[in-house]
Structure 1
């Protein structure tokens, strides 16, 4: 991997990369892979500059079950459908971190499942006898569940194998790069709040716990909420480990070292599944900041002699929308280059 600190962009300008992506989380990396692997022999040269490597980003902390309900946009269904197809292909290729998992979603009040769940071919209502303690309705289905650390690592390797390059650096403003790169793709997530700046971006802190999986659980559990609930219960299997969650702390953008919320997560999971062993001897905590926005921003705007394509504001559905949004960005890039 090429590592550079970006104090100025003269060397980058000399390279004249066709596309410069800002951000190396799941949105930036997926966009990079899509661009370098684009068909037709016209794939652009692509460079990613990021303050943090993928394994250090908020994306690495995600629980990452396929769920488009934590973002808003008229094209949400299209982006999610495209991403679901790509994850299905990746699961068939045994791509690191990607599995299709059967499981149960349930809620503590009488609510209908969201339309995108009811439309799944694997959807079926769940009888009360199959529900965990404290839940009154639920349904079963199969969706992608992503183990983010190995997935992000494999994405980065795939991006570099396709000819993409990366450098590490902090940018003070978009103006620093728009004068040097013809096409800039802004995939900065919560960073867009200050970099653009965009006052519509607001944070939501999420915390989860990773524990051992001594009983070999292979199915997921997810609590369905109305969106106003700050705490939710979920259990996602990743082979030898389980990801337990979770929290939604609106307006919070700093990591917190306390054990109060992780302890509460474990307590809720044990109450819901009293017959299971959640091995917390190797307990690890993850904290990430979701970049919420009233609507995902995916649009192009002129900038000097070039263009900026914004691709951020995916809230808690970044993984779910990643490939669909990357495909749309690629379409825009090729229109601009034609």
Structure 2
């Protein structure tokens, strides 16, 4: 490794995890580039419903602090929703009670049990706006986001002393890590018939979930699914009909809303998130930051800060 490149960092992956990690590192003074197979608007992150909440993610003792560090950033950015895509919106988690949550819940202002479920005012993020804003923030910090198909982490190690693996589902081959699995999520976007609050409900033992999230521009995101080991990116019309039907049971006005878009994304699930450092190729350093499942937006900045700390500890 050329000594001039030993302090350089290549972040592999251009979704919310890769972009947040790259920005934290750049602002810490590192020379960073991002390699991403897809542009931000075509990553899995762009499909996310993006309500801040620790959902289907472990280990709890680390997820709580990661989530709270991310929450504080989103709360600040909610003051500029048109620019950042972040808003604070009221809603209810059906079937969730305060006493069933971890210690982290005590740090979230305004959580309260009601007859309808756990009421909260939480960050709800328009990911297409948010990812575009992060891309601009990276450019301002001197970070180049390069479209590149990465077939081996050794490719990145050949040009930088530090590689941060934020490849999501791609880590299954790149790490390689067979414990990384897809959890398919399908959404339906409709014209918002006047819904102003969000709602979520997960059906125990089922791959079906029910939620709706109001978004700017008169849109309402309806969901959803959590189909393990399903690699299909094609919207299923029958699944879409079921999503609309479940949401309309709760808000009848949704039944007649015009469908404007179908979305499908594959959440990069793992039994536990992997944020750790190991020796890389050619004497370099490799830091992993992947396996966030359906809560990547929720923990992104906490994980980014931890990954950056591991980079700095490497010298």
TM-score, with length taken from structure 2: 0.91
Q: 2:186·2:235 contact (CA, 8 Å) conserved in 1?
A: no
Give the gaps of 5 or more residues in structure 2. none
Higher mean C-alpha displacement, 283-292 vs 169-178:
169-178
Quote the residue 1:50 is aligned against: 36
Cα separation, partners in 2 of 1:14 and 1:172, compared to 1, 3 Å? farther
Quote the residue 1:185 is aligned against: 164
Quote the residue 2:23 is aligned against: 33
Structure 1 residues 51-130: aligned runs within 5 Å? 51-73=37-59, 74-94=61-81, 95-107=83-95, 113-115=100-102, 116-117=104-105, 120-127=108-115
Cα drift, residue 281 of structure 1: 2.7
Structure 1 residues 1-338: aligned runs within 5 Å? 18-38=8-28, 43-73=29-59, 74-94=61-81, 95-107=83-95, 113-115=100-102, 116-117=104-105, 120-127=108-115, 131=116, 138-215=117-194, 217-226=195-204, 228-239=205-216, 240-274=218-252, 276-277=253-254, 280-303=257-280, 304-337=282-315
CA distance in 1, matches of 2:165, 2:225: 27
CA distance in 2, matches of 1:257, 1:100: 29
Cα drift, residue 90 of structure 1: 1.0
Cα separation, partners in 2 of 1:111 and 1:157, compared to 1, 3 Å? closer
Cα drift, residue 283 of structure 1: 2.0
Cα drift, residue 13 of structure 1: 11
Q: 1:68·1:320 contact (CA, 8 Å) conserved in 2?
A: yes
- Cα deviation, 1:130-181, whole Å, max 9, x if unaligned, reads x4xxxxxx12111111111111111111111111001111121112222321
CA distance in 1, matches of 2:256, 2:69: 36
Cα separation, partners in 2 of 1:123 and 1:199, compared to 1, 3 Å? same
Cα drift, residue 191 of structure 1: 0.5
Cα separation, partners in 2 of 1:53 and 1:85, compared to 1, 3 Å? same
Q: 1:58·1:289 contact (CA, 8 Å) conserved in 2?
A: yes
CA distance in 2, matches of 1:111, 1:327: 28
CA distance in 1, matches of 2:255, 2:160: 50
Higher mean C-alpha displacement, 47-56 vs 70-79:
70-79
Cα drift, residue 110 of structure 1: 9.3
Give the gaps of 5 or more residues in structure 1. 1-11, 132-137
- When the two chains are superposed, the root-mean-square deviation of aligned CA atoms in Å is 2.4
CA distance in 2, matches of 1:218, 1:55: 25
CA distance in 2, matches of 1:278, 1:193: 39
Q: 1:213·1:279 contact (CA, 8 Å) conserved in 2?
A: no
CA distance in 2, matches of 1:252, 1:145: 26
CA distance in 2, matches of 1:71, 1:204: 12
CA distance in 2, matches of 1:16, 1:308: 12
Q: 1:212·1:278 contact (CA, 8 Å) conserved in 2?
A: no
CA distance in 2, matches of 1:299, 1:214: 45
Cα drift, residue 114 of structure 1: 2.7
Q: Residue 69 of structure 2: SS of its match in structure 1?
A: helix
CA distance in 1, matches of 2:4, 2:236: 47
In the alignment of these two chains, the number of paired residues is 310
Cα separation, partners in 2 of 1:249 and 1:102, compared to 1, 3 Å? same
CA distance in 2, matches of 1:88, 1:52: 28
Q: 1:17·1:46 contact (CA, 8 Å) conserved in 2?
A: no
Cα drift, residue 71 of structure 1: 1.0
